[in-house]
């Protein structure tokens, strides 16, 4: 496959950026999107040109570092996949692919396609945990959890914090991320003792990081590679009101 | 600023409550407007007189104006904050799949607000004595307005946009109030669709019927 790539190039957070166009030959349909970019960088290195900076790590869709905005879609046009699992067979030979970094005020561009997503970590640090007394591990069956609730909690716990929800949202809102983090604890008995403090602290941190509010458009749900559901946001709202 | 009272979630909560109150008001207004279809002006005019003079309604009227003010103010504040959340936009338009009309709430809402100003000018200002007209005969005022083709076309466009606004508004309010889940979501969506079609069509049909049959 032959591709024309239009990629956002930016030296650092302070400098301005612009698109640069690259022609890439020899792309195999079975390559992942990240492998395709690695091929591009190899080609650029051989030509003595500066490679494109992009984040990637696990290559199996669980670390959440490879986020980029591909042809108008965070993580590309295929639902339920991270960029590293997106295969090049979903693109046509000769196609032009425009690649941009996540755009949001709390996600400043570090370089090219790499953005600083530590704003999400700060929300997590504000309350996304349970306090436990150290010592021997508690017996797993000491506190009973219904199958339905444990499944729902697990479905929200699969959030990898990649930031695609923020990137997709017209308001750059992190509500789907926060709702997943809230839900995974709110649904389990272990999360209840600190539920009030958790939801208030995480919402306050979300606001102070500069994320937008939720317009319930559903773009986040559509683009989430882990397919976190929108009704988690309703649960987040419920938890927030209940905390008063 | 108080972080909890003015959090993104609290602001949306206020928006949703105010919006739902406005949603309750529309069918009442429609019920009275349907009396315009009668050849006798008396039922409509006495209903309008009742709404203008009954003390309890006066209280509700103040509440209604306050609600509109809150809904509009919060809507504008939230929209500005949301725009500020993405100072640098994308070059390629976002193609993420979203709910119908949910991305255009500020525009559909703004259009309805403009219509509301015209509406106040045509009716409420007569009541206040700011504009010429007989406040005891809104029936004739309405019939006169409906005889102007340009006005009726504007009226229809506004109710079409209101329908778009309402379809997202109702389901979004339930989501914001935390009253939605996997089971209720399709039910709420269906109710939103019925409401968003029935109410605007109810209003829009009045000048049409007057044109065709009167």
Check CB contact under 8 Å for B85 and A233: no
- Mutation choice for A interface testing from B82, B84, B107, B171 by most A CBs within 10 A: B82
Q: Answer yes or no: is pLDDT of B1 > 60.
A: no
Q: Which of residues 30-89 of A touch B (CB under 8 A)?
A: 69, 71-74, 77
Mean of pLDDT over chain A: 96
High-pLDDT (> 90) share of chain A, %: 94
- Mutation choice for B interface testing from A170, A172, A186 by most B CBs within 10 A: A170
Which residue of chain B has the CA closest to A98?
B92
Q: Answer yes or no: is pLDDT of B106 > 70.
A: yes
> How many contacts does A have with B, using Cβ atoms within 8 A?
144
CB-based contact (8 Å) between B40 and chain A? no
**Residue-wise pLDDT tens digits, B88-98:** 999 999 999 99
Which residue of chain A has the CA closest to B171?
A216
Confidence class of residue A228 from pLDDT cuts 50, 70 and 90? Answer: very high
CB-based contact (8 Å) between B94 and chain A? yes
Q: What's residue B134's pLDDT?
A: 84
According to DSSP, the β-strands at A109-111 and A3-10 are: unpaired
Chain B residues near residue A173 by CB distance under 8 angstroms: 8, 82, 85
Q: What's residue A178's pLDDT?
A: 98
**Residue-wise pLDDT tens digits, A92-103:** 999 999 999 999
Q: State mean pLDDT over A207-219.
A: 96
Check CB contact under 8 Å for A210 and B172: no
Q: Which of residues 110-149 of A touch B (CB under 8 A)?
A: none
Which residue of chain B has the CA closest to A229?
B182
Q: State mean pLDDT over B136-165.
A: 94
Check CB contact under 8 Å for A215 and B89: no
- State the smallest CA–CA distance between residue A164 and chain B in angstroms: 11
Sole residue written with tokens 């006495």:
B46
Lowest mean pLDDT among A10-24, A128-142, B176-190: A128-142
- Residue burial B8-36, b: 16+ Cβ < 10 Å; e: rest: bbbbbbbbbbbbbbbbeebeeebeebbbb
Q: Answer yes or no: is pLDDT of A56 > 90.
A: yes
Confidence class of residue B3 from pLDDT cuts 50, 70 and 90? Answer: low
Chain B residues near residue A103 by CB distance under 8 angstroms: 86, 88-90
Residue B24 neighbours by CB under 8 Å, 6+ apart: none
Three-state DSSP at A70 gives strand
Three-class HEC string of chain B: CCCCCCCHHHHHHHHHHHHHHHHHHHHHHHHHHHHHHCCCCHHHHHHHHHHHHCHHHHHHHHHHHHHHHHHHHHHHHHHHHHHHCCCCCCCCCCCCCCCCCHHHHHHHHHHHHHHHHHHHHHHHHHHHCCCCCCCCCHHHHHHHHHCCHHHHHHHHHHHHHHHHHHHHHHHHHHHHCCCCCCCCHHHHHHHHHHHHHHHHHHHHHHHHHHHHHC
B35, B47 Cβ separation under 8 angstroms: yes
Chain A residues near residue B178 by CB distance under 8 angstroms: 234-241
- As a whole number of angstroms, the distance between CA A189 and CA A195 comes to 10
The CATH number of the domain covering residues in A118-242: 1.10.1060.10
A228's tokens: 């976190």
Examine the predicted complex and report whether its ipTM is higher than 0.95: no
**Residue-wise pLDDT tens digits, A102-125:** 999 999 999 999 999 999 999 999
Domains of chain A: which residue ranges? 3-110, 118-242
Residue with the larger pLDDT of the pair B130 and B201: B201
Chain A residues near residue B102 by CB distance under 8 angstroms: 215-218
Q: State mean pLDDT over B104-124.
A: 93
Chain A residues near residue B92 by CB distance under 8 angstroms: 69, 71-72, 98, 100
β-bridge mates for residue A4, sequence order: A23, A96
Q: What is the DSSP string of A12-47?
A: SSSS-EEEEEEEE----TTSBHHHHHHHHHHHHHHT
CB-based contact (8 Å) between A95 and chain B? no
- As a whole number of angstroms, the distance between CA A88 and CA A78 comes to 11
Check CB contact under 8 Å for A170 and B13: no
Top CATH class, B8-85+100-213: mainly alpha
Mean of pLDDT over chain B: 93
Chain B residues near residue A171 by CB distance under 8 angstroms: 82, 85-86
Q: Answer yes or no: is pLDDT of B125 > 90.
A: no
CB-based contact (8 Å) between B108 and chain A? no
CATH for A3-110, among 3.50.30.10, 3.10.20.30, 2.60.40.10, 3.30.565.10?
3.10.20.30
Give, for A9, the enclosing helix (H) or strand (E): strand A3-10
């Amino acid at each position: 496959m032959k591709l024309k790539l239009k990629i956002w190039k930016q030296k650092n957070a302070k400098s301005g950026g612009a698109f640069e166009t690259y022609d890439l030959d020899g792309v195999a349909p079975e390559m992942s999107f990240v492998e395709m970019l690695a091929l591009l960088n190899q080609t650029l290195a051989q030509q003595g040109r500066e490679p494109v900076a992009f984040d990637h790590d696990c290559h199996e869709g669980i670390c959440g570092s490879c986020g980029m905005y591909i042809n108008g879609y965070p993580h590309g046009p295929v639902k339920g996949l991270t960029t590293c699992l997106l295969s090049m067979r979903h693109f046509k030979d000769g196609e032009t692919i425009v690649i941009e970094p996540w755009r949001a005020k709390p996600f400043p561009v570090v370089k090219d396609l790499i953005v600083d997503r530590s704003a999400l970590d700060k929300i997590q640090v504000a309350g996304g945990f349970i306090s436990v007394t150290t010592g021997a591990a508690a017996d797993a069956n000491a506190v009973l959890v219904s199958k339905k609730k444990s499944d729902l909690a697990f479905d929200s716990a699969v959030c990898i914090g990649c930031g695609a929800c923020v990137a997709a949202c017209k308001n750059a809102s992190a509500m789907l991320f926060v709702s997943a983090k809230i839900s995974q604890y709110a649904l389990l008995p272990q999360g209840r003792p600190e539920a009030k403090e958790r939801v208030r602290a995480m919402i306050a941190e979300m606001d102070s990081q500069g994320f937008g509010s939720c317009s319930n458009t559903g773009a986040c749900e559509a683009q989430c590679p882990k397919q976190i559901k929108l009704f988690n946001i309703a649960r987040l709202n419920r938890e927030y009101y209940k905390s008063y | 600023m108080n972080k909890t009272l003015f959090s993104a979630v609290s602001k949306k909560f206020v928006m949703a409550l105010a919006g739902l109150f406005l949603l309750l008001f529309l069918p009442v207004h429609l019920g009275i407007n349907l009396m315009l279809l009668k050849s006798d002006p008396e039922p409509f005019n006495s209903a309008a007189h009742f709404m203008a003079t009954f003390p309890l309604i006066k209280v509700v009227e103040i509440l209604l104006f306050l609600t509109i003010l809150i809904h509009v103010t919060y809507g504008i504040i939230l929209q500005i904050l949301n725009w500020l959340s993405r100072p640098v936009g994308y070059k390629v338009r976002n193609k993420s799949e979203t709910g119908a009309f949910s991305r255009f709430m500020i525009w559909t809402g703004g259009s309805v607000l403009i219509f509301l100003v015209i509406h106040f000018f045509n009716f409420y200002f007569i009541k206040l004595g700011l504009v010429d007209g007989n406040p005891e005969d809104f029936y004739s005022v309405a019939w006169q307005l409906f005889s102007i083709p340009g006005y009726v076309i504007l009226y229809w466009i506004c109710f079409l946009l209101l329908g778009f606004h309402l379809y997202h508004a109702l389901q979004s309010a339930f989501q914001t109030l935390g009253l939605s889940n996997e089971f209720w979501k399709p039910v709420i969506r269906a109710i939103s669709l019925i409401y968003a079609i029935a109410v605007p069509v109810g209003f829009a049909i009045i000048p049409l019927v007057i044109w065709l049959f009167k």
